[in-house]
A and B are shown apart, each in its own frame.
Chain A
Amino acid sequence: MTADVHEAPLLDVRDLRTYFKTDDGIVKAVDGVSFTVRPGQTLGVVGESGSGKSVTMMSILNLNPNPGRIGHDPALPPGPRMEAFLHGSKKHTSISTGQALFRGENLLEASKRRLRALRGSEISMIFQDPMTSLNPVLSVGSQLVEAVMLHRDVTQREARELAIAGLQEVGIPRAERRIDDYPHQFSGGMRQRVMIAMALINDPALLIADEPTTALDVTTQAQILDLIRELQAEHGTAVILITHDLGVVAETADDIVVMYAARIAEHAPVFSLFEHPMHPYTWGLLGSLPRLDVELERLTQIRGQPPSLLRPPAGCRFRPRCRFAFDRCRAELPEATPAGFDPGHLDACFLAEARKLEESARIVAELGLAEEAA
């Protein structure tokens, strides 16, 4: 929380929508998502599988499979572009509309060349499964060298020096020898370290980590998260940490975005989210979080299934699973709106604020979150 709240955002995503055309119909994988990331800050993005976390990030860098040419035709304004996509005959394509302003530049309208220049140099990504994210037939060294040489005007030898330094920085022992090894000669945790070294080798302003610890065992998870935090502090990199584990973001993030069914349910500073969680879905998530320090009879679960993004329910997406739903939730789609007590705390729920605070206080007391936040 060292970053100044009033500093210009590094990444400002506004009303991002990513739709996929499939054989079964249009999948609205991201449907009106807005958030900001400030320089050096960590944003945690939480939600269950299929809630649109990864697609949101992939859309920003245009890394979704089969991006439609229509979707990135800067000649058309967003409205007509979406129209052309929805009524066009081209199948198996996708579109992203809205804005993803990186230092003020809309990435959704950037040329392919411009995006390539940004990827891996200004904005880097690491992925969930380090076992499959590295090319098995190339040595880790040549993959690191490739990352350097794509963006910097250096010789092969200099790039190799940088690669060795990068591996040393992420704590790979005997880096100058291991650089010629192949991915299968590293353990899962070591491979994720290699991925991190590769992502940070060009000193990016933003690192998007898409469930970087999900595929790793618990002790390795903690080491990898510590490493990311450490490097982030050293380099001043902003981090978007995608996870389905609220416990992970509680320790790491400055701000948290809770996503549900392609939309944002709640967006708040981390302390505020754990002090006054304001959305029924967040309450469900908090209740289902296993903890070692609190004795509970059993973990509560959120009843029902997340909705299909092909045919989402009318009104609020969470309504069919929500204990508090009332008439308005069926009729209208709630937008994320600021809470009265803190304009930086947004939630998309129609319940009266007093009612939400009351319920929130009950849940926080029950789970013993208040002491922790304090």
Chain B
Amino acid sequence: MLNYIIRRLLWAVVLFIGVTLITYVLFFLLPADPARLAAGKSATAEDVARVSHQLGLDRPVHEQYVLFLKRLVVEHSLGRSYANRRSVNEMVGEAIPVTAALVVGGAILWMLIALPIGILSALKPRSLIDRGAMIFILIGISAPVVWIGLLLQYFVGFKWGLTPNAGYCDVIDPPPGASCGGPADWAYHMILPWLTFAILFAASYARMIRANVMDTLGEDYVRTARAKGAPENVVIRRHVLRNALLPVVTMLGLDIGVALGGAIFTEAIFNLPGLGRLALNSVLNLDLPTMQGVIVFATLTIILLNLVVDLIYAWIDPRIRLA
């Protein structure tokens, strides 16, 4: 087991270097000069050259990359933003809770929607519940997130005035001068983002759960359980769901990992200061350290959650023994 974790961690290092290196290479292939952007519109050629030197952009790419790694490993620092000279650690640190709130809340919501829909429609195939669920799934999967977000914003937020249209409130310690704060405001502002974010996943998870449960219902061991005289609720809970939901656990872990890297569309629509928006802005500003910062965090999250999923899986499925 320990061996397995060490091997996984070594692979994680390789993966991490690969991902960050590719970011560097791609960035310098861009036909744009970050120094010119950082120096401002009225800067002279000398200004640009000076800024370029300050930012270290005049050095060879491999040197810059080694410097980035050294800073990260030794000082645990992601450097400073080209755009506003703020510490990237700080900026990413501020964005993480926002994205985490969106993703974790969204994941809870989508599972709360997908589990009952998936299970009920599998237990009563071709029933009214099943048909209704299929329509929901079809819409949820085909409708773009942006479109759903804008519709919700327009009707629920603007027309009916039930929720705020956009913006974020801190749960604890709102900064002085903030217009809102505290758990109630926070949740109130998150309702639409959660819903928007959850619908696509809820639909695809409902479909997956339905298919898994239906498959499992046809398994021989389910017939064995019935032949033993187990009541139907025990059959479903103990024998069907235990097995049908195993793959769902994996998917959930991976999807949460990916989403934590930034739910770009949802954050952009609802103006949430999360990692997705940070990444988007950093690309527009050719702000390499910030971009790299988001990527480092996203990569680490995905690697970590993959490991966690594998460990959980080995724990809940006795057939899998990590060696």
Contacts and interface: CB of A to CB of B under 8 A. Distances in A.
Contacts of A138: 238-239, 242
A129 B221 CA distance: 10
Given A136-B319, A150-B229, A127 B243 contact: no
A119 B226 contact: yes
A139 B220 contact: no
Contact of A132 (B220, B230, B242, B317): B220
Interface string B231-245: 100000011001100
A61 interface: yes
Interface string B212-236: 0000001111011111111100000
Given A92-B126, A136-B319, A137-B318, A198 B242 contact: no
B232 to A, nearest CB: 8
B226 A63 contact: yes
A116 interface: yes
B221 A121 contact: no
Contact of A91 (B126, B242, B243, B318): B126
B61 interface: no
B297 to A, nearest CB: 35
Interface string A90-114: 0110000000000000000000000
A283 interface: no
Contact of A63 (B218, B221, B223, B239): B223
Contacts of B221: 132-136
B316 interface: yes
B129 interface: no
Contacts of B316: 137
Contacts of A135: 221, 224-225, 238-239, 242-243
B141 interface: no
Nearest to B246: A137
Given A92-B126, A136-B221, A119 B243 contact: no
A102 to B, nearest CB: 14
A190 B14 CA distance: 44
A124 B223 CA distance: 12
Given A137-B317, A139-B318, A184-B318, A198 B228 contact: yes
B239 A120 contact: no
Contacts of A184: 318-319
Candidate in B227, B231, B239 with the most chain A CB atoms within 10 angstroms: B227
B19 to A, nearest CB: 35
A129 B220 CA distance: 8
Contacts of A132: 219-221
Given A134-B221, A137-B316, A184-B319, A61 B227 contact: yes
A134 B219 CA distance: 10
Interface residues of A, number: 31
Contacts of B226: 63, 119
B323 to A, nearest CB: 15
Contacts of B231: 116
A63 B227 contact: yes
Contact of B227 (A117, A124, A146): A124
A125 interface: yes
A184 B226 CA distance: 21
A65 B226 CA distance: 11
Interface string A224-264: 00000000000000000000000000000000000000000
Interface in A120-169: 120-121, 124-125, 127, 129, 132-139, 146-147, 150-151
Interface residues of B, number: 23
Contacts of B218: 65
A139 B318 CA distance: 9
Interface in B101-159: 126
A186 interface: no
A182 interface: yes
Contacts of B239: 135, 138
A120 B228 contact: yes
A129 B226 CA distance: 16
Interface string A310-325: 0000000000000000
Given A136-B243, A184-B319, A121 B229 contact: yes
Contact of A119 (B219, B228, B242, B319): B228
B224 A133 contact: yes
B238 to A, nearest CB: 8
A118 interface: yes
Interface string B294-323: 000000000000000000000011110000
Contacts of B238: 135, 138, 146
A215 B246 CA distance: 27
Contacts of A182: 318-319
B220 A133 contact: yes
Given A92-B126, A139-B318, A182-B319, A134 B224 contact: yes
B227 A125 contact: yes
B218 to A, nearest CB: 8
Contacts of B228: 119-120, 146-147, 150, 198
A40 to B, nearest CB: 21
CB-based closest 10 A-B pairs: A120-B229, A119-B229, A120-B228, A132-B220, A182-B318, A135-B221, A125-B227, A133-B220, A116-B229, A147-B228
27 contacts: A63-B227, A91-B126, A92-B126, A117-B229, A120-B229, A124-B227, A125-B224, A129-B220, A132-B219, A132-B220, A134-B224, A135-B221, A135-B225, A135-B238, A135-B242, A135-B243, A137-B246, A137-B317, A138-B238, A139-B318, A146-B230, A147-B229, A150-B229, A150-B230, A182-B319, A184-B318, A198-B224
Given A119-B227, A137-B317, A146-B238, 15 more contacts: A63-B227, A116-B230, A117-B229, A125-B227, A133-B223, A135-B221, A135-B225, A136-B317, A137-B242, A137-B243, A137-B316, A146-B225, A150-B228, A184-B319, A198-B224
Interface of A: 61, 63, 65, 91-92, 116-121, 124-125, 127, 129, 132-139, 146-147, 150-151, 182, 184, 195, 198
